Amino acid sequence: MTAGRKNSSHLRSGYTTGACATAAAQAATLALLDHKAVESVEIDLPGGNKANFKVGKCVSDNQQVSCSVIKDAGDDPDITNRAEIWAAVSWKGEPGISIEGGKGVGVVTKPGLEIPVGMAAINPVPRQMITQAVRQAAGTCLDSQGIRVVISVPGGEKLTKKTLNPRLGIIGGISILGTTGIVIPYSLDAYKACIPQSLDVAVACGCRQVVFATGRRSEKFAQKRLPLGEECFVLVGDFIDYALEACAKRELGRAIIWGMAGKISKLAAGHIYTHISSSRVDIDFLAGVAASCGLSEETAKVLEGAVSANHLLTLLPPQSAAVFCNKLCLLAAQQCRQHAGGRLEVECIMSDCNGFILGRANAQG
């Protein structure tokens, strides 16, 4: 796979900041070992494919090697498109591979995210990708010493102002993101066109219920846990409203919606189209739901300070978490059933980022 590959809607796919950081780190490691500049590298993507990257710059001194990769987001309107992702690699005495954030990469200052407070905002999958790429490049050299990797993004401090990072407590730069390494171009028409087509296939294959996944990870988790045919699973993203309407028109009896805390929270609040441009997670609403589950007024007040739905979950007393999550799923299912004109039985399932089911509830007539 190479950057600029066309997808079925004739839009170019691109690569995530995580994939670019991985390529830059691999190039810098190879240059550190071979003492010469690297022009291109091939990295492994989480899905099993490979991707080729051109190395923009390669700078070395006696202490470290730094390489850059220019991010190509394809035809996606990504604010980090054309950003220069740098990786500086150097030897260290302690064994292992350490990954740090440099200038232009944000630092997490509030709890509730996948990265602990105080660490650079380099998400888990990119960290795994970078570690794997560096280990493959360094080979047996890691038997006697370790490698330090520092990821930086010139101009990241300005770019982050156009993201949600400041609101989430990620300061000083952008996040290094990506779960697949690939950026799928956002095309409303193309995405929506796939939903009724997928439902038609489901009906033709005899499915009487379908599973709507709000993201690729959610779809993977749902496929592992729900014993249904492949045709029953439909990736709907933010277009749950459109998917429910299309499902009701085809007289399918039941829809299961699998999502994580943020999406389920929006559905519960009545925002059936869940894209961030249309709705945000309402923390006050969630605190109110928690209060209705029997939490004290004092605890509910603490919840109002949460910065995200995931953060709010971490603030819940353990004995109340399941009740809250089930209640949230019930509200979401009721809202979705109402949106479908009462013509569908709707179940909502909420999982964490590892696929563990936090809550589920069913709304039916």
pLDDT on residue 188: 58
Q: What is the 3-state secondary structure (H, E, C) of the chain?
A: CECCCECCCCCECEECHHHHHHHHHHHHHHHHHHCCCCCEEEEECCCCCEEEEECCEEEECCCEEEEEEECCCCCCCCCCCCCEEEEEEEEECCCCEEEEECCEECEECCCCCCCCCCCECECHHHHHHHHHHHHHHHHHHHHCCEEEEEEECCCHHHHHHHCCHHHHCEECEECECCCCCEECCCCHHHHHHHHHHHHHHHHHCCCCEEEEECCHHHHHHHHHHCCCCHHHEEECCCEHHHHHHHHHHCCCCEEEEEECHHHHHHHHCCCCECCCCCCCCCHHHHHHHHHHCCCCHHHHHHHCCCCCHHHHHHHCCHHHHHHHHHHHHHHHHHHHHHHCCCCCEEEEEEECCCCCEEEEEEECC
Give the confidence band of 71 by pLDDT, cuts at 50, 70, 90.
very high
Q: What is the pLDDT of residue 10?
A: 59
Count other Cβ atoms within 10 Å, centred on residue 331. 22
Inter-residue contact 330 to 302 (CB < 8 Å) = no
Q: How many angstroms separate the Cα of 56 from the Cα of each of 50, 75, 137, 275?
A: 19, 20, 19, 34
Q: What's the whole-number mean pLDDT along residues 279-296? A: 91
pLDDT of residue 9: 44
Residue 96 pLDDT? 94
Q: How far apart are CA 10 and CA 3, in angstroms?
A: 14
Asked whether residue 11 carries a pLDDT value surpassing 90, the answer given is: no
For each of the domains in the chain, give its residue range(s) and CATH number, in order of start: 14-183 (3.30.2110.10), 188-363 (no CATH)
Range 187-196 average pLDDT:
69
The strand pairing partners of 58, in sequence order, are 67
Each residue's pLDDT tens digit, 139-182: 999 999 999 999 999 999 999 998 878 877 899 999 999 888 88
User: What is the predicted pLDDT for the residue at 195?
Assistant: 87
The answer to pTM > 0.95 is no
Over residues 300-323, mean pLDDT: 92
- Average pLDDT, stretch 333-348? 96
What's the average model confidence in pLDDT over 81-108? 96
Place of tokens 């989430």: 168
pLDDT value of position 191: 63
Instruction: Give the pLDDT score at 187.
Output: 53
**pLDDT value, residue 190:** 58
Percent of the chain with pLDDT over 90: 69
Give the confidence band of 6 by pLDDT, cuts at 50, 70, 90: very low
pLDDT in tens, 192-215: 777 888 898 888 888 889 999 998
Residue range 185-192: mean pLDDT, rounded: 61
Residue keyed to tokens 């004290």: 296
Tell me: the pLDDT tens digits for 107-134? 998 877 788 899 999 999 999 999 999 9
Q: Is the dihedral of CA 218, 220, 222, 228 positive or negative?
A: positive
The per-residue pLDDT for 1 is: 37
Would you say how long the chain is, in residues? 365
Of 8-22, 34-48, 344-358, least confident by mean pLDDT is: 8-22
Q: In the predicted model, is pLDDT for residue 2 greater than 50?
A: no
Average pLDDT, the chain: 90
Rounded CA separation 241/52 (Å): 38
Closest by Cα among 311, 258, 260 to 283: 311
Higher model confidence: residue 176 or residue 231? 176
Per-residue 3-state assignment (H helix, E strand, C coil) for 272-321: CECCCCCCCCCHHHHHHHHHHCCCCHHHHHHHCCCCCHHHHHHHCCHHHH
